[in-house]
Amino acid sequence: MLTAESLTALDENEAQALESHLQSCLECRLELDEWQQSVAVLALSTTPLEPSPKLRVRMLESIKTEPDIETKSGNSNGSRTAKVLEFVASYSGKSPSIQKWGAIAASLLFLALLISLVVLWNESNATKHELARLSNQIQQTVQLLTREQEAIAILTAPGARVAELSGTDIVPSTHAILAYDKNGRAILIVRGLPPPPAGKMYQLWFSARGRFLPGKVFTTGYSGEATLNEQVPAEALKASAFSVTVEPENGMRSPTGAVYLRSVP
């Protein structure tokens, strides 16, 4: 029966019986394989013929739409059909070299991502610092604008007065103005006054009835500029003498230090 089966020449009932037998008989399956190889040489008895060249193109085009690889298939119905020689799949599908190169590629990709993260982190930090600097600058600008607005408000207020202060022999180039309204709301703007000595601050004084009334302490920094909001004491509102001395950090109740600025009569 095996020789006839190798030629697919068994009648249907015999073919089905043999198929059932082959499922449990390895020896017969192997013998059938041998007969099928012998039968295959009959194909060599035919005259080789060349198919149409277009068939090659059609064939290669047809596989492009194929999705997955099929595995073994059997007869789809009970009728007698020619059987396709079936083999047990033993092919793994990938060569070790492809797996090795794939692992190397994955490692390189990971390293590249890591480097990118570090670079981005550094750039992020730099950006943060820049943002902080700009934020600080904006804040200072806002403060300056606010003070300028306040100064304008004071200067344009009804009954506003402006006193000019000049530098003394210590810093002749410095000068300042003190603007205040009738309610004593004042602003002191100083220019060209170097920073005070270490541990010292500048202090504003209001002269009234032979006494010096203390104002706020302030510093100028290396820009030599200072803008100070102040409240002129009520008893000093009609006075027109103002001065700036250098005093200890927390200020004094009476002037003790050298005079740097004095109001012009």
Contact residues: another protein, CB under 8 A: 3-4, 6-12, 33, 35-52, 55-56, 58-60, 62-64, 66, 69-73, 80-91, 93-94
Q: Which is nearer to another protein, 51 or 199 (CB)?
A: 51
Alpha-carbon distances, residue 30 vs 38, 86, 258 (angstroms): 13, 12, 119
> Residue 23 CB, nearest distance to another protein (Å)?
16
What torsion do the CA atoms of 141, 139, 246, 261 make, to the nearest 10 degrees?
A: 20
Amino acid at 124: S
> Residue 96 CB, nearest distance to another protein (Å)?
13
Q: Which is nearer to another protein, 32 or 165 (CB)?
A: 32
Q: Which is nearer to another protein, 52 or 250 (CB)?
A: 52
Alpha-carbon distance 96 to 223, whole Å? Answer: 72
Residues forming beta bridges with residue 94, ordered by sequence position: none
> Residue 57 CB, nearest distance to another protein (Å)?
10
Q: Which is nearer to another protein, 49 or 198 (CB)?
A: 49
Strands 185-191 and 241-248 turn out to be unpaired
Contacts of residue 86, Cβ cutoff 8 Å, sequence gap at least 6: 72, 74
Cα-Cα end-to-end distance for the chain: 137
- 2 touches 32 (CB < 8 A): yes
What torsion do the CA atoms of 252, 186, 258, 220 make, to the nearest 10 degrees?
A: 100
Nearest to 168 by CA among 241, 224, 243, 86: 243
Q: Which is nearer to another protein, 4 or 160 (CB)?
A: 4
Alpha-carbon distance 212 to 58, whole Å? Answer: 109
> Residue 73 CB, nearest distance to another protein (Å)?
8
> Residue 74 CB, nearest distance to another protein (Å)?
12
Specify the 3-state DSSP secondary structure of 257.
coil
> Residue 15 CB, nearest distance to another protein (Å)?
9
> Residue 100 CB, nearest distance to another protein (Å)?
16
Contacts of residue 156, Cβ cutoff 8 Å, sequence gap at least 6: none
